Structure 1
Amino acid sequence: MSGAAPELPGWRHVYTGKVREVFASETDPDVLLVAASDRVSAFDHVLRPAIPGKGAMLTRLSRWWFERIDVPNHLREPAGWDDDLDPELAARSMRVAALDMFPIECVVRGYLTGSGLKEYVANGTVCGIPLPAGLADGDRLPEPIYTPAWKAPQGQHDENISFERTVELVGADDAAALRELSLRVFRDASAIADERGVVLADTKFEFGRDRATGDITIADEVLTSDSSRYWDAELYRDQALPTARRLASFDKQIVRDWLSVNWDGTGDPPELPAEVVERTVARYRELFDRLGVDRA
């Protein structure tokens, strides 16, 4: 999707994010339509051109995981719910419950890498959690760790927070439940990915409370290439390979790498070359195929 959001009979546009458009039902206040676009963002900018097919792939991947994780999810899709939608739009959309969302991004890390590695090198911690000495980039942690973040308003950066701060924000019972659910889903998903030769290094979840049942419910996208870091298990185990090759992720890292070399961060970012777009599409598609999503 690019430009203005489409007008959809029966739906009212309420939100445009970097990647998603959200519509509210005109007949049911507890139902939303969430449409993933092909837009790609990096360093807080939406880039051009888009990544063809990305929205549909990520939507299908979320659905695939929703079918496999034992946690209530936000899908509310009776038979024929998408009959009036354009097929291309339907392929990248989900009809979902309007939840009372928790203001917390539930991050789980099973391996040391990325921003966590930088903090560890400086302080021996990740998000304030002490870790054993002597770990290197890509090392598996003794146990997955829960490192929540406060979901900042649109246009601001999320802020890493302590578990104690989540208690202040949502109460002790809900804070504990969010931590337990996040760690459980991560472990279950890691086992499923491992069976398919893929390492789930880290991920983030969002949860809300179902207005009808009161249940804590997983929402938004789940375990996609945009919300998670995945590695090829065979390459990961090959210690003879350079670290960058072992830890090459199935996501838009190709875009970030190109942009970091070809843009100084001032003004508007340059347009992505066709070769970068093609390689990024192939990388998203490879994870899709490795997990066997089309064969589900």
Structure 2
Amino acid sequence: MTPGAPLDLEAWTPVYSGKVRDLYVPAPVAGAVGDAATLADTEHVLVVASDRVSAYDHVLEPGIPGKGALLTQLSLWWFAQLETVPNHLVDPTTASVSLPEQVRDRAMLVKPLDMFPIECVVRGYLVGSGWIEYREHGTVCGVPLPAGLTSGDRLPEPIYTPAFKAQLGDHDENITFERTVELVGAETAEALRDLSLDVFRRASSVAEARGVILADTKFEFGADRSTGEITLGDEVLTSDSSRYWDAEVYASGDRTASFDKQIVRDWLSANWDGTGTPPELPADVVERTAARYRELIERLTAH
């Protein structure tokens, strides 16, 4: 299923719609000479998070009310916690463009980056597809792990398991570190790996101090078009890009209750065979998912 149509925002032109986010560039000024700006030549990009929810490469109906605002709030909070890591945010109070009031609570004003075609995935715990591979081969994305681990175990050290970013509608492809070297060069590949692991460790420490476990996450980086500096972009450490657990619940033995859309995935797995159009989500699944998003925000940002 394809994403819905982007909103009509005054002074902004939509240029891309993903499963959750829509991108806009400033609309051309009346009387100005030249073509409208594109992602290739704009100075500013508006990133608007929708309430859409996706699972298994399908955008589902209905969306999760308030999800876009919650994801944006969490990204902005994490960017602030990681202030020493270069990121793509632009201060709206000093920019030549402003956030449209219509989407102010779920939009970020950012500078465009030359994005690397790599999902920088870091895993701190053995879960999900990693657990499935480990049971069969003793590895996660080809990375050998010690014998005797069980589902949900904390790994001896976080591991970097990059993926090749797929086009909309396709699956991201797990790749080796050597393949990332082929894609972006050795120096950049090493920098992306080291920075991803460093940010993951720092974020894990912040979360643990609040009784929350960061099990895994993915980062996206790009090169600053002016300086070439590797810069953190897209969303960061949100409920959509990360797996979080309640530390107290985890300690009790429950390693399945996460602060994300796992409720949606579980319901869909039990009620859809993967063919045709997915069924609509029941109201209780929508509300329980929204509640998990809200609870994570409260747990992390209340301190």
- Quickly name the TM-score band, shorter chain normalised: over 0.9
Does the Cα contact within 8 Å between 2:5 and 2:17 map onto a contact in 1? no
The answer to whether the aligner puts 1:62 opposite 2:71 as a matched pair is: no
Residue 85 (str. 1) matches residue 100 (str. 2): yes
CA positional deviation for 1:83: 5.1
Q: Quick one: distance in 1 between partners of 2:153 and 2:20?
A: 31
SS in 2 for 1:67: helix
Name the CA shift for 1:151/1:49 in 2 (closer, same or farther; >3 Å): same
1:12 match: secondary structure: strand
Kindly tell me: are residues 123 and 90 of structure 1, through their superposed partners in 2, closer, same or farther at Cα, counting changes over 3 Å?
same
Within the candidate set 255, 268, 273, 2:277 is matched to: 268
2:14 partner letter:
H
- Does the CA-based 8 Å contact 1:109-1:201 persist in structure 2? yes
Q: Which amino acid aligns with 1:277?
A: V
Does the CA-based 8 Å contact 2:92-2:99 persist in structure 1? no
Compute the displacement of 1:10 (Å). Answer: 2.5
Indicate whether 1:7 and 2:8 are aligned: yes
Q: Following TM superposition, by how much is the alpha carbon of 1:212 offset from its aligned partner in structure 2, in angstroms? A: 1.4
TM-score by length of 2: 0.91
- Cα displacement string for residues 24-57 of structure 1 (whole angstroms, at most 9, x for unaligned residues): 1246712111100000011111111110000000
Aligned-partner SS, 1:236:
helix
Q: Name the residue aligned to 1:152.
A: 166
1:234 partner letter: E
**Are 1:99 and 2:113 counterparts?**
yes
Say whether the 8 Å CA contact 1:116–1:126 is kept in structure 2.
Answer: yes
Structure 2 unaligned residues grouped into runs of 5+:
29-36
- The aligned amino acid for 1:67 is A
Distance 1:160 1:116 in 2: 11
Partners of 2:99 and 2:114 in 1: CA distance? 27
Q: Please tell me whether the aligned partners of residues 57 and 170 of structure 2 are also in contact (alpha carbons under 8 angstroms).
A: no
Q: Secondary structure at the match of 1:63?
A: helix
| Superposed structure 1 runs of 4+ greater than 6 Å apart | none
Contact 1:232/1:246 (<8 A) preserved = no
What value does the CA root-mean-square deviation take over the aligned residues? 1.5
2 CA distance for matches of 1:225 and 1:255?
A: 13
- Distance, in Å, in 2 between the alignment partners of 1:15 and 1:77 is 22
Kindly provide the amino acid, as one letter, of the partner of residue 287 in structure 2: E
Structure 2 residue matching 1:246: 3-state secondary structure = coil
What is aligned with 1:36? 49
Alpha carbons of structure 1 residues 84 and 216: separation in structure 2 relative to 1, 3 Å: closer
1:84 Cα offset (Å): 5.8
Gaps of 5+ in 1: 240-244
Q: Deviations over 1:190-239 (max 9, x none)?
A: 00000000000000000000111211000000000000000000111123
Cα separation, 1, equivalents of 2:69 and 2:146: 41
Say whether 1:50 aligns with 2:63. yes
CA contact (8 A) 2:54 2:60 kept: yes
TM alignment of 1:129-148, pairs within 5 A: 129-148=143-162
- Give the secondary-structure state (helix, strand or coil) at the position aligned to 2:81: coil
